[in-house]
Amino acid sequence: MVMESKNKRKLFTVSEIELIYKPKLKPSQRPTIKCSQEAYELMVNTWDLETIELMEQLKVIYLNRARKVLGILEVASGSPIQAAVDVRLIFGTALKANASSIILVHNHPSGNLKVSEPDLVTTATVKQIGAFHEIPLIDHLIITSEGYLSLYGDRKSVV
């Protein structure tokens, strides 16, 4: 009977899931994003410029209610023409960080700032899922080493 009990315990051993967010800066020290230009400047200063023309990457800026940056996560890294996006990772991280909104940022290694059909599909999908979770997508930027384009079309203020 004791042997059977030990075997049952082994069958039900499971991994522990821990939700944790460790901010490195005090809220007063975090950058604030009020417009797409500020988001672009933040990303250009944190992006590895040696890879910006090599491979497509998608990163997410996570913001609190005051539009202070909670963090940046590289969600996808791919080939010179595409990067596969996993929205579960985007929103799992948003929930973990207690983000109030997000901004997508991806590069076009070609230097072309034209919006592609996959860019529009990704934006629509993330926007829809964000609305469901009450974590709105407030912008999606395409960046190159020479500039950026806001898919929301407003360089003055983030919607």
Sequence letter at residue 113: L
Across the chain, mean pLDDT equals: 86
> For residues 149 and 141, is the Cβ–Cβ distance under 8 A?
yes
> What pLDDT is attached to residue 19?
64
In this predicted structure, what is the pLDDT of residue 155? 47
Query: What is the tens place of the pLDDT at every residue in 49-85?
Result: 888 888 899 999 999 999 999 999 999 887 655 667 8
How far is Cα 127 from Cα 141, in angstroms, rounded to an integer?
A: 14
Hey, CA dihedral for 59, 65, 68, 71, is it positive or negative?
A: negative
Q: What's residue 159's pLDDT?
A: 45
* Cα dist from 94 to 2, 62, 63, 72, 103, whole Å: 45, 7, 9, 10, 11
Tell me what percent of the residues of the chain surpass a pLDDT of 70. 85
Quick: pLDDT tens for 98-126: 999 999 999 999 999 999 999 999 999 99
Confidence tier at 150 by pLDDT (50, 70, 90): very high
d(CA 152, CA 138): 8
Amino acid 78 reads G
